[in-house]
Amino acid sequence: MTMQKKKLGLKDKYRYLTRDMAWEPSYQKKADIFPHEDFEGIKITDWDKWEDPFRLTMDAYWKYQAEKEKKLYAIFDAFAQNNGHQNISDARYVNALKLFLTGVSPLEYGAFQGYSRAGRQFSGAGARVACQMQAIDELRHVQTQIHAMSHYNKHFNGLHDFAHMHDRVWFLSVPKSFFDDARSAGPFEFLTAISFSFEYVLTNLLFVPFMSGAAYNGDMATVTFGFSAQSDEARHMTLGLEVIKFMLEQHEDNVPIIQRWIDKWFWRGYRLLSLVGMMMDYMLPNKVMSWAEAWEVYYEQNGGALFKDLERYGIRPPKYQEQANIGKQHITHQIWATFYQYSHATNFHTWIPSEDEQQWLAEKYPDTFDKYYRPRFDHWQEQHANGQRFYNSILPQLCQVCQVPALFTEPDDPTQLSHRQIVHEGERYHFCSDGCCDIFQNEPEKYIQAWLPVHQIYQGNCGGGDVQTVVEKYYHLKNGQDNLEYVGSPEYLRWLAWKKLATPQAPAGTGDRRDAA
Amino acid sequence: MKQLAFIVFQDNDNARYLVDAITEDNPRAEVQYQPAMIRIQAEKRLEIRRETVEEKIGREWDVQEMLIDVISIGGNVTEDDDSFVLEWKN
């Protein structure tokens, strides 16, 4: 087929956008205009070497984004008009969305802010254009997610005040502090953290198997916004890889700096994604793949190919990769067990997995689930059946860096909690792992400032001296409605009514009322 | 360990033609169907050619149109007016 070449080719269009529209400053010094470009130690000798392989120009960008939006909003309308929320697999599923809306959607907004700032700070026009487009994408993601979830907010609890919760609720400091850490770094570290380590290496785990799971659980709205967002991620991932290659090719002095950032942000991202792993293994009633399987495909296999490719630049795989690979058999069970105990302080419900679900977990985790985790669930199930649903009233020790409670076990011994501590300028700091301890030691001046929810509660900075007051007054959660055990919750009863199901005579656990924590 | 280049599409009408074209141009590619998505992977290299897609879809097709239906990719990207290539180089 012969094409008439009236129009400019992709390469020419991109060159005009990213080169010919830039200019050299004449009456201000470049260093004054871009003051953040040097302090991290990254050396750029030729910004013209920056290439965006997608070479997307603004006119094409608007055209394709507009088409995606039209498709997406038509589906949101159809979903709402057809009471799509009643066609999901089970109401328990919505608890994953509550975690998504409070934990992930605000990060999209953080990414919008981060890319807007990073784009301002680069003197290279190609990098500025890439950051600008990504900033607009991220703003679109947070908006579409809020719109999608607003329908669920009409029918389910715990989705009502997500932005307020994101800034306050204890476990939401895990995602919040992750992004605050990235956004308060220099522009090159920000790109390494978010474009490369997060977008390229890790977001597949959130947006591909989890969203496929949303589809499998009848949630048309979420799979649609998820895949629509992820269609932008394909560009972001490409940018992430190009950014790393660009920095590495610019100067050999950049290699050790970038390696340290990769080590750091791989581990930060891995810890953050333990929440996603829990959503996949425990919160999707119809399961697509286990966290361990997703980790194998999207990290071990894809990350393996990636880091082999980067070897030629002198980059090795992330320092604590092996610990993460071992952890895939354990972390989701450990973190679900933690949320189960602290459900009185969450905006979502928890439950003991059904017998079928535990069987699935045992098949997917043949070396760990029955041996280490099923007995604990059995014990709690029995307590619940005796009218004593377990809630832990002692607030957990948080890691100074990732802010996850110190709930993970030693890589070489799943019966021992992993705990590291060091004294810095007369103060003792606690960590969940070697990975987080290393991160602190590289930048203690940053992490001593961490706002740790448990410390803040105990210091009286969160609206009251007991957990219930904190939950109601400071988190804006309605006790007994938004939180606690799923079985017997108002949401559970509403779902049974919608589905015209009778309340089970003796549900998995009766006695769902909680004694005060 | 194998180095798989991969691309994932939403499972929709457009993607069916893309998958046809890709499997024709990349005979060793493996296609996996998962809920709502299609993943295509091949050792080292995967190519989408405009000409083949146009043949399958029966109209002119801009390589960048794939941005509407793609969910994820793995590999270094090289794109021009006629093709989109994913490749591990090392």
Looking at beta carbons, which residues of chain B come within 8 Å of A211? 36-37, 71
Taking phi over 0 as left and psi of -120 to 50 as alpha, with beta for the rest, B60 belongs to: beta
pLDDT, tens digit (0-9, with 9 covering 90-100), for B73-89: 999 999 999 999 999 98
Alpha carbon of A379: minimum distance to chain B alpha carbons (Å): 35
Whether the pLDDT of residue A168 is over 70: the answer is yes
Chain B residues whose beta carbon lies within 8 Å of the beta carbon of residue A64: 64-65, 67-68
What is the mean predicted confidence (pLDDT) over B13-41? 95
Token readout for A96 is 């994953």
What pLDDT, in 10s, does the model give residues A337-354?
A: 999 999 999 999 999 999
> Contact B76/B86 with Cβ under 8 angstroms?
yes
The whole domain housing B83 covers 4-87
Strand pairing class (B83-87; B76-79): antiparallel
Distances (CA, A) of A354 to A290, A358, A383, A508, A514: 16, 6, 16, 8, 21
3-state secondary structure A297-366: HHHHHHHHHHHHHHHHHCCCCCCCHHHHHHHCCCHHHHHHHHHHHCHHHCCCCECCCCHHHHHHHHHHCC
Q: Is B85 on the interface with A (CB under 8 A)?
A: no
**pLDDT number for residue A514:** 44
- Taking the Cβ of residue B8 and every Cβ of chain A, the question of whether any pair is shorter than 8 Å is answered with yes
- Mean pLDDT score, A386-393: 96
Element (H, E) at A264: helix A254-278
At A509 the pLDDT is 44
Give the closest residue to A341 by CA, choosing from A329, A355, A356, A351.
Answer: A351
Which neighbouring-strand residues pair with B9?
B38, B70
Q: What is the pLDDT at residue A512?
A: 44
pLDDT mean across residues, chain A = 93
Round to whole Å and give the CA distance between B32 and A18: 38
Tokens at A231, concatenated: 């269609």
> Mutate which of B39, B67, B69 to test chain A, going by most A C-beta atoms within 10 A?
B67
Does the distance separating the beta carbons of A227 and B74 come in below 8 Å?
no
Domains assigned to chain A: 47-498 (1.10.620.20)
Using one digit for the tens of pLDDT, what is the confidence trace for A106-158?
999 999 999 999 999 999 988 998 999 999 999 999 999 999 999 999 999 99
CA distance A442 to A446: 9
> Nearest chain B Cα to A9, which residue?
B81
Count of the separate structural domains present in chain B: 1
Distances (CA, A) of A199 to A64, A107, A298: 21, 12, 12
pLDDT at A504: 73
CB contact under 8 A, A288 and B34: yes
Q: Which chain B residues have a beta carbon less than 8 Å from that of A3? A: 81
Which tens digits make up the pLDDT trace of A7-54?
Answer: 788 788 888 777 777 888 999 999 999 999 999 999 999 998 988 887
What is the CATH classification number for the domain harbouring B58? Answer: 3.90.56.10
Give the one of B51, B76, B90 whose C-beta lies nearest to A241's C-beta: B76
Q: Which residue of B has its CA nearest to A14?
A: B80
pLDDT for the residue A515: 42
The pTM score is 0.93
To the nearest whole Å, the CA of B35 is away from the closest chain A CA by 5
